Homo-oligomer: A and B are copies of this chain.
């Protein structure tokens, strides 16, 4: 059985494409209770972009501080409940921000029409009904959240996505201009999320020519942005990295992420590390899985003067390390891909803990 992959319904790409949003959502405003919800990274509050959001009097505009915490189940449930109580079912929801905001928009779109807590739906195909119309506008490149079938949420028990074909956006607006003001460290860590998606997708049993075509192109674009002459943040590279992010996301969607994301999830849940950063912390120690790509990654660190902290684990308790390890160990689908379906014969909780102790 091959994956039957659900695409984003519609994509508009180009500098200034953000300005087409009003026209794009106009026909959708007829649906449900005739209002839109905009969830926007708090970073943009008071900034020029916030003034360009086509929200109307009847709409709900919410700025969310994603630096406090990655998207979590209670947050989604509360957002859904308060909007339903105040205004009923929206016509659609728009997410403007990075991967966390994308995931909030995707998850909330689904939870508007699926009863109970979002913790009930963390996993594959547990969602019962299609959500409302949802539109994503990434303002940073690399996460792949703009195209993935997953809205990753941290719950009381696990960090795991609401994963089904209805999670995929109805519309994505890819406007590279929006990424022009991303701080350099975030630009790097989030860009590396894309690079790592491609490396992980190619390093495992679910890799296939379809996934490869997207991954190869995304890696080529990452090299232009992060390694080759002309590297760094620029208009041209913003354009490329936004496409690399999409292609990397499509590569992993048609294959699978692997060991690095498993380690990264443990770091996120137990130590609250941001996703892109946690990926970098983990990837730096994963030559065993990713060989030369780790050297290429270190070269990119060097080129961009990024210093990753060493010996973090010196400040982690054994309990914390075992908690992270258990979280990583439970991500069966990632180890299936990275090691093979018999991974439990080759790979133990203690192996995972050993890697965390090196970080």
Identical copies in the complex? 2
Say yes or no: is A186 at the interface (Cβ < 8 Å to chain B): no
In contact, A243 and B210 (Cβ under 8 angstroms): yes
How distant is the Cα of A5 from the Cα of B20 in the complex, in angstroms? 13
B213 touches A14 (CB 8 A): no
Are the CB atoms of A7 and B10 closer together than 8 Å?
yes
CA distance A17 to B208 in the complex (A): 13
Known: A20-B1, A20-B4. A13 touches B208 (CB 8 A): yes
Chain A, range 280-334, C-beta contacts under 8 Å to B = none
Taking the closest CB of chain B, its distance from the CB of A91, in whole angstroms, is 18
Q: Say which size band chain A's interface belongs to.
A: 35 or more
Are the CB atoms of B10 and A209 closer together than 8 Å?
no
Name the residue on B nearest A212 (C-beta).
B243
Contact string against B for A residues 133-166, beta-carbon threshold 8 Å, 1 for contact and 0 otherwise: 0000000000000000000000000000000010
Q: Which residue of chain B has its CB nearest to the CB of A3?
A: B12
Task: Let me know if B213 and A216 touch, CB within 8 A.
Answer: no
A198 on the B face (CB < 8 A): no
Please give the distance in Å from A294's CB to the nearest CB on chain B. 25
Q: How far is the CA of A8 from the CA of B17 in the complex (A)?
A: 21
User: In this assembly, does A56 line the interface, its C-beta being within 8 Å of a C-beta of chain B?
Assistant: no
Contact A247 B213 (CB under 8 A): yes
Cα distance, A165 to B170, chains bound together (Å) = 14
Q: Is A9 an interface residue when CB atoms closer than 8 A count as contact?
A: yes
**A240-B5 in contact given A13-B254, A254-B13 (Cβ < 8 Å):** no
Which residue of chain B has the shortest Cβ distance to A14 in the bound complex? Answer: B2
CB atoms of B10 and A6 under 8 A apart: yes
Q: With A213-B217, A240-B209, A243-B210 in contact, is A7–B4 under 8 Å at CB?
A: no
Contacts of A6 in B (CB 8 A): 9-10
By a CB distance below 8 angstroms, the chain B residues around A13 are 2-3, 5, 208-210, 254
Contact B8 A12 (CB under 8 A): no
8 residue pairs bridging A and B, Cβ less than 8 Å apart: A4-B11, A5-B12, A6-B10, A7-B10, A7-B11, A213-B244, A214-B217, A217-B217
- Name A's B-contacting residues (CB within 8 A): 1-14, 16-17, 20, 24, 165, 171, 174, 176, 208-210, 213-214, 216-217, 220-221, 239-240, 243-244, 247, 254
What are the 7 tightest A-B residue pairs by CB atom distance, in nearest-first order?
A2-B14, A7-B7, A217-B217, A4-B12, A13-B210, A209-B239, A213-B243
